[in-house]
Every structure is written in structure tokens, then in C-alpha cells.
Structure 1
Amino acid sequence: MPFIERLSLPSVEVAGKLDVRSFNIGQPVPVIKAIPQLEKIEEAIAAIDNKSNKALLARWEDYGFATYGQLKLKARVIKARNNFKLVEDTMKWIDSLAFRVASIAPPFKDMEDITKVDHKQAVHDLNLGRWYVGRHEQNGCEFLDFRENLWLHSGSIIGGLLALQSENLDVAIVNPRFHDFDDAD
């Protein structure tokens, strides 16, 4: 069974108030049957972290109980699902593109021989988790923003610049925060 299919627990909308409490004597470990929305999971993780006791349970009236470890796992599953969706969308976008070799301008001429299959393989091989470009931590899935007409966020822009710099020794990056934008002179 492919990994993505093993992540197919149903989603559930939790609306109740969060309660953090200890296990009752003889209470079994909760069984994961559905996954609440990420905001509720992160709220529960933060509440347990604030109590500095990972042995506590999160409880919602309309959902039930979850251990700290289960909450962390559920958050990772949601993020993995989202990343897999980004990969699927990127693969579909690559398939829909019409590459016109004649329109490739310098300095991108070295890309003329790269096919859709090559681009899809690069996406397939991309580490979606955390990795480092220099000292900058980057989530690989942020590079999938460089498709279609998506709005780029600072993580994808910084990561792209640092990756460009690591590949080309002649590239330098200047942080715009060092530019005096308030000085009108």
C-alpha cells in the first residue's frame, strides 16, 4: 500500500473547547480514528507544552482524547498530506506546460535540453522536509511555489536566492533591510 494511502484517516471538524488533563487510572491509550483540523492540534500541543508534562491528554467534548505523541503525529500527517498535494499540483502544472525552446533567453540557454520528464523527476526527488542552504533552514516544499502565478513568500524567495548563490560563486545577496528606505535624499 503506498504511503499516501496510509495517511487516509478521515478529517473531523472539532468545535468544542480544549481540556488538558491527566490519564485516569486504567484509562486505555486513545485510538486514532480521525484527524482534527491543524489549528486545534497545534493549540493542544501548545497547551501541553505550556504545562511541561508530555504525559497529559488533550480532550475535546465532540472528539475525545489524544496523547501528546498522537497530536504530534497528526500534525505531521496533515503537513505531509499538504506537501503531497503540492507535489501533485506541481506535476499537473508541468504536464500542462508548453515549453517553447525558441523562447528561452540567455542566461537560461543551458535549460534547452531539459524535458518535462526531467522536471518531473526533479520534483519527485525533492526533499520536502527540512534541509539547509548555507545556514538557512529551508522546507523543500517551499520551492514548489515557483510554479504557475503563485504568490511567493519570503521562505521560497530566500531559499531560492541562497540555492542560486550556492550554485554560482559570482552571485551575491544583499539583505534589503540594510537599505535605508526612509532616507528620501
Structure 2
Amino acid sequence: MTQDQLTVMEIIVGVKKTLREIGFTLDWIEEATWDDADIAAVHVPFGDESKLSKADRKGAVVTMSLGTKYVDGEATSGASLLVYWEDMWLNLSCMITGMVYLRHAYKDIGVINPSFYQSQTPADQINWRLRFDHLRSRTGALSMF
């Protein structure tokens, strides 16, 4: 086998995996039930979620870009967002994409990437956390430290 043939095989295996995940996601949407009262109780930002039909949800999955997109400098693979079905744990891509969406949709939401936090000394970590504690009472900021 040549290197080109191995590359093509790798691409094919990746595409098959993604297509399988699309199928799992579409099946999950079909079988899942949402309690409209629970969704409506949240209001912002998910209040309009109860207006979407299963066909709308499936359409969003089928038409979404599965390639890599850069959102605010953060590389996100559309295919990696499909792991959110059944009782699967959200992966980092899902969480980052959700936070970026909320930041764009609502002017009072900010996102602080905690990845730099690991390299700080304990004193620096405490100092950074104290800087953001005052936001908690005003905006409901969640400390991820």
C-alpha cells in the first residue's frame, strides 16, 4: 500500500464514523421527548426551543457543516458536536461552542478560557479567582477553577 492509499483509507474510516454518529443523533432526536413546561420555564436563552419540531432539529443536524470552523479563533469540528445524544457526556468542543454562542447571543455574557489557569502559581490562581468573584453576584458567573 502506498501512503496515498493509507490517507484515503483514513479519510473513508473517518467519514463512516461521522455518518454513523449522524445516524445515532437523528435516531436520538426521533426517540427523545421534551417536556415543554420544563423548557419554557428556562425562558432565556432556551425559551424558543419548545417551538422547534423534530423535523427542525433533524434538519439542523443534516445541514450543519461537519468540517472545521473557526469561531473566535477556536477551531471547532462540526462532526465533534454530534456526540451530544442519549446520555453521552459533552466534550470540550460542545462546551466551548455553546459558551461562544451564548457570548454572541447575549451582550452581558463573557467567557474566560481557563486553560491558562494551569500554569499559574497557587498565589496567582487565588488572585485571578478573586478578580472574578465580584461578577458572580451580578451576572451569575460560574467559577470553573
Which residue of structure 2 aligns with residue 100 of structure 1?
Answer: 35
Residue 178 to residue 111, structure 1, CA distance change in 2 (3 Å): same
Which residue of structure 2 aligns with residue 135 of structure 1?
Answer: 73
> Given the alignment of the two structures, is residue 84 of structure 1 paired with residue 19 of structure 2, yes or no?
yes
Residue 148 to residue 131, structure 1, CA distance change in 2 (3 Å): same
Q: Which runs of 5+ in 2 are unaligned?
A: 127-145
Residue 173 of structure 1: SS of its match in structure 2? coil
Between the aligned partners of 1:167 and 1:181, the Cα distance in structure 2 is: 34
Note the 1:44-63 alignment, pairs <5 A: none
Give TM-score, length-normalised by structure 2: 0.72
Residue 137 of structure 1: SS of its match in structure 2? strand
Say which is worse superposed, 77-86 or 128-137, in terms of deviation.
128-137
Q: 4+ residue stretches of structure 1 with deviation over 6 A? A: none
Residue 123 to residue 181, structure 1, CA distance change in 2 (3 Å): farther
Percent same amino acid at aligned positions? 27
Which residue of structure 1 aligns with residue 56 of structure 2?
Answer: 118
Structure 2 counterpart of 1:153, from 80, 87, 91? 91
For residues 130-182 of structure 1, the C-alpha deviation after alignment (integer angstroms, 9 at most, x for no partner) is: 11212111110111122222122222222332233234343210122455694
For residues 66-125 of structure 1, the C-alpha deviation after alignment (integer angstroms, 9 at most, x for no partner) is: 111111111111110000011000000001011221221222211121010000000000
The CA RMSD measured in Å over matched residues stands at 2.2
The aligned length equals: 120
Give TM-score, length-normalised by structure 1: 0.58
Structure number, greater radius of gyration: 1
- Structure with greater strand share of residues: 1
